[in-house]
Chain A
Amino acid sequence: MSVIAVDENPIAENRQSDWAVETHGLTKRFGNSVAVDGVDLRVPRGCAFGYLGPNGAGKTTLIRVLLGLTHADAGTMSLLGYEVPRHRDTALARVGAIVDEPRFHGHLTGRQNLQILAAAREPAARQRIDSSLERVGMTGRANDRVSKYSMGMRQRLGVAACLLGDPQLLILDEPMNGLDPGGMHDMREMIQSFVAEGRTVVLSSHLLDEVERTCDAVAIVDRGHIIRQGPIAELLSGGDVAVTIECSTPETARQLLATSNLGEHVDVGADGLTVSLAAGSDRSLVAEINRVLVEGDVSVYRLELNQASLESWFLEVTKRLGETE
C-alpha cells in the first residue's frame, strides 16, 4: 500500500473549504482489482449530492474509504475541510453515515442501540436521542427490539443514528433500499429537510429516478472512475430535448417545421409529431414551433417538451463510454 506522506498532501488543511467532501486521486485496490480508481470528487456544502453508479461500480468502497472504514491505497481526501485520515476524529465528529444496510444489535431496543452510539460521541449526543428518534418517526417503536424491526424501520434508525452527532455531512449509502413507496417518499422528504437546514447529504444510489428527485448535483461513477459530476440541471442541459406535438394535420405540420428549420429532425408517428431539438435548446423554441404551426393553419391540441431524464442521460453517457472503450 502506498501511503501518502502528510507533507506531500495537496489538500491544504482548509476549514473554510467550500467542499464538504474533496478527494484527489483516491485509489483503493483489492488484490488486482481496482475498486476506486484515482477518483477526484468535489461535493459542495449544503446540497444533496447523488453518487450514482451501477452495482459494483465502487460506490460503497469510496464511502468506506472516506469514513476510515478501510484504508486508501493512494490519494488524498478531506471531509468538511479536514484532511483525513489525519484529522479523521475531528471530521467524523460532525459526520453521520449509513454504510450498506444499517445493522444493529437485534437483542437491544432501538433506543438502546442509539445509547451505545451516543456514548461513543460527545456527551451532548445523548441529549439528541429522543429528538433523533422523533425526527425519523420512530418514537413509538423506540423501545421495541431491533430484531422486530422491518428493513424500513432499520433504515430510519440508521438515519437517527446519523443525527446523534448533529452532522454537517450525512453520507447515506442506498438509503432507499427495502423501502416501500411511502417510505421512499418519507426518506426523500427527510433528506430534503436536512439540506434545508444547511446540512450536506451525499446519497449513494443506483436508483436514478430517486436521485434526480432528491439531489441538486451528482457524480456518475462506473468501474471505479467518476465519469461526470456537477449540478443535475447543468449535466442534463447537454442532453437531447424533444417536443411531442398532437395536431390536426401532422403531415402539413411536418412540412412547415422542415422548411422553418426549427428542429433537427421531425418524425410523424401514431401519437403525432416528434421534433428533436439541438442539445441545450431554449424553451422559447417551443413557443416558436407553436407560432409557426398556428400561422400555418394547423390546430395544435397538445405540445409537450420532453427533456432528457437523468436515467436516459446516464444510460447515454455510460453507453458512449462503453463504445469508446
Chain B
Amino acid sequence: MTTTANLVVEPSTESHRRSPIPTGSMIMTRFMELRKRRGLMIAILAVNIGVPTIFLAVRLIAHAVAPHTYGPAGGSSIYDALITGIIYIFGFIVAATLGCTAGAIDLTEGMFRHLVVTGRSRLAIYFARIPAGLMIIVPVVAAGVIIVSTVCVAAAPSKLNYDGINNVPVGLSRQGFVTWADQHYREAACDLNFNFKGPPSGNVVQCGGPRGNSGPQVIKLAPGGGISSSPATKAEMVAQATKSANQDYRDYSTQFLKPSLKLIIKTGLWVELWAIIGFLIGLGLSSLIGQRTVPVVLLIVYEIILTPLFSHVAISHLIPAQRGMVGLAMANIEPNGLPAVFGGQGGGGGPGGGGLPHALTESTLLAWIVISAWIVIWTGLGAWRMATRDA
C-alpha cells in the first residue's frame, strides 16, 4: 500500500468555489451546451426570425411582381401584426422552452450530479444558466425585431390605406382630418367606421347598394319608430363624413405609414423583456419541478389561453389574482402605437398605453412591481430547489 503526501489545499484558497457567482467559463460552456441543441435553436430562430423573414420576403416579391394587386411589403400594420402576433406571443413560448431546457436538462441527462461533485456552489451552477440563456434569446429576438423594423420602414406604403380608403394623408390634425373627410364625403360617409354607441337615431347614411347604381341611401328614423329611405344628398353625406371623422380621429391619429424609431426602440425593449421573463419563468419552474415537458406545457397554456382570457374578462372575485398576472402587467406597459396584444382594440391598456383599455387595467407602477415579483420569485424558487435537491 502506498502512502501519499496529504492534500495541501487550504479552504481559503478555494473559497471562491462557494461563491454563488458563476465564472465566465461556466457561463460560456453552458451557452455552448444550449446552443448545440439543434431542434431548440431551430425553433427559436424560426419563430423570431424565420417566420417574419419568410412572410416579409413573400410580400416583397409579390409587390415587386404585381404592385397593383399586392400592396407594399412593409408599413405600420405589418409591423404591428408581426410584432404583437408572432414575436411577442411565440417568442415568449420559445424563450420559456429554452428556460425549461436550461433548468431541467442537467438533471434529466445526469450531468447535475457530475457538476455537484466538482464541489462548485450549486447556486453558481444554477445562475450560470441565466446569462447563458439570455446570450441566446436576447440577440435572436433583437435580430427578429431589426429585420421586421427594417423591412417595414424601407418598404412602407407611400399613402395610408385607412378603413379601406386608399391614399388617406397621414398626420392630419383633427380639423384637417374632418376637412379631408368633407372633401371626400362620399368615401368618408360610406367607409369610415361609425359606432352608434346605442340605438341609431336621426338620419344615417347607408351604402349597402352598389355605389353608382342606387347610390348611398339615407335612412331616416322617425321618433315613433318608422323608417324611410331616400337617396342621400351631398349635404347629408358631408354631415355623416364629419361625424365619422370626428369619431375615428383618435384611431386615425395612431396610424402611420411606418413605425417611428421611437416606437421601434420601445417595442424592441418590450418584446425583449417579455422573452427574458419567459426564459426566467421557464428556468425557475423547470428547476423547481425537475423536468422540462410539464413546465413547457404549463407555460404554453398560460400564454395562449390564460393570459388572453384574463386580459379580456374581469372576474370580480379574481381581480387581485388577475392583476398579479405578468401577462396582464406586460399588456399594461405596452408601447403606445401598437395594437393591444391578444387581439384587443388598441395599444396599451394602461395609462402608458395609447389604445383602448383591456378589461382590467393597472397602474404602470403596479405593472412593474408585478413583473419584478415574477422574475424574483421564479428565479428564487429555482435557485432554492437546485441548492436543496438530491442530485
The answer to whether B4 touches A119 (Cβ under 8 A) is no
B contact residues, range: 35 or more
Smallest beta-carbon distance B153→chain A, Å: 39
A97 and B11 CA atoms in complex are apart in Å by: 20
Does A289 sit within 8 A of B, measured CB to CB? no
A70 and B388 CA atoms in complex are apart in Å by: 9
Taking CB atoms, residues of chain B closer than 8 Å to A108 are 32-33, 36
A16 and B18 CA atoms in complex are apart in Å by: 23
Does B58 sit within 8 A of A, measured CB to CB? no
Mask: chain A, 17-28; 1 = CB below 8 Å from B; 0 = not: 110000000000
Does A117 sit within 8 A of B, measured CB to CB? yes
Taking CB atoms, residues of chain B closer than 8 Å to A64 are 390-391
Does A263 sit within 8 A of B, measured CB to CB? no
Does B214 sit within 8 A of A, measured CB to CB? no
Which of A3-11, A41-49, A248-256, A294-302 contacts its partner?
A41-49
Which of A82-90, A182-190, A220-228, A265-273 contacts its partner?
A82-90
The answer to whether B1 touches A44 (Cβ under 8 A) is yes
Does B114 sit within 8 A of A, measured CB to CB? yes
Which of B87-95, B119-127, B191-199 contacts its partner?
B119-127
Taking CB atoms, residues of chain A closer than 8 Å to B26 are 119-120
The answer to whether A107 touches B37 (Cβ under 8 A) is yes
Contact of B30 among A67, A116, A231 (CB under 8 A): A116
Does A91 sit within 8 A of B, measured CB to CB? yes
Does B110 sit within 8 A of A, measured CB to CB? yes
The answer to whether B115 touches A117 (Cβ under 8 A) is yes
Does B372 sit within 8 A of A, measured CB to CB? no
Smallest beta-carbon distance B273→chain A, Å: 29
Taking CB atoms, residues of chain A closer than 8 Å to B14 are 89-90, 93
Taking CB atoms, residues of chain A closer than 8 Å to B38 are 107
The answer to whether A105 touches B4 (Cβ under 8 A) is no
A90 and B6 CA atoms in complex are apart in Å by: 13
Does B166 sit within 8 A of A, measured CB to CB? no
Within 8 A of A (CB), among B1-35: 1-11, 14-15, 17-18, 23, 25-26, 28-30, 32-33
Mask: chain A, 95-109; 1 = CB below 8 Å from B; 0 = not: 111011011111110
A30 and B116 CA atoms in complex are apart in Å by: 21
A319 and B28 CA atoms in complex are apart in Å by: 54
The answer to whether B9 touches A94 (Cβ under 8 A) is yes
The answer to whether A196 touches B2 (Cβ under 8 A) is yes
The answer to whether B110 touches A104 (Cβ under 8 A) is yes
Known: A46-B1, A80-B7, A106-B109. A89 touches B120 (CB 8 A): yes
A89 and B286 CA atoms in complex are apart in Å by: 26
The answer to whether B33 touches A45 (Cβ under 8 A) is no
The answer to whether A121 touches B118 (Cβ under 8 A) is yes
A142 and B83 CA atoms in complex are apart in Å by: 43
Mark B residues whose CB is within 8 Å of A: 1-11, 14-15, 17-18, 23, 25-26, 28-30, 32-33, 36-38, 105, 109-111, 113-121, 124-125, 390-391
Sorted from nearest, which 10 A-B pairs have the closest CB atoms? A103-B110, A92-B119, A198-B4, A119-B25, A89-B17, A69-B391, A120-B118, A46-B2, A70-B390, A120-B120
- 18 more contacts with CB within 8 A, not counting A120-B26, A161-B114, are A15-B8, A16-B6, A44-B1, A45-B3, A47-B1, A93-B119, A94-B9, A100-B113, A102-B114, A103-B109, A112-B36, A116-B29, A116-B33, A119-B28, A120-B125, A121-B118, A196-B2, A198-B5
